[in-house]
């Protein structure tokens, strides 16, 4: 019996069972979130001391291209939405 099967509670034991099943689900979700959170802040392989030069150059080009793309997007948005000067 899973927690989704119980929709009607006839006794306190049904409520306790539902509570325990929900607690297990929450603990499993918490463990998954902790694992994902830990992998979010790992040091990239490119920054390690044994990374090859080609990997470092490739990473540099990738970051540079992303920065250039962001700058172009910002410029286009600025040109599109900049306030216009009023004529008197």
Q: What is the pLDDT along the chain (88 residues), one digit of tens a residue?
A: 555 565 788 999 999 999 999 999 999 999 999 999 988 887 777 778 888 889 889 989 999 999 999 999 999 999 999 888 777 6
For 88, the 3-state DSSP assignment is coil
Q: Are 34 and 4 found together in one domain?
A: yes
> What is the three-class DSSP state of 47?
helix
Residue 87 is part of which domain span? 47-88
Position 75 scores a pLDDT of 96
Cα dihedral sign, 76-78-81-83? negative
How many domains does the chain divide into? 2
Q: Could you tell me if 30 and 51 lie in one domain?
A: no
Give the pLDDT score at 1: 52
Same domain, 52 and 32: no
In this structure, the answer to whether residues 35 and 56 fall within a common structural domain is no
What pLDDT score does 24 carry? Answer: 98
pLDDT of residue 85: 77
């Amino acid at each position: 019996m899973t927690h989704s099967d119980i929709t009607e509670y006839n006794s306190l034991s049904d409520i306790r069972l539902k509570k325990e099943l929900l607690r297990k689900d929450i603990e499993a979700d918490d463990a998954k979130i902790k694992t994902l959170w830990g992998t979010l802040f790992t040091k990239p392989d490119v920054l390690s001391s044994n990374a090859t030069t080609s990997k470092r150059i490739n990473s540099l080009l990738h970051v540079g291209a992303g920065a250039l793309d962001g700058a172009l997007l910002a410029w286009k948005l600025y040109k599109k939405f900049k306030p216009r000067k009023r004529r008197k």
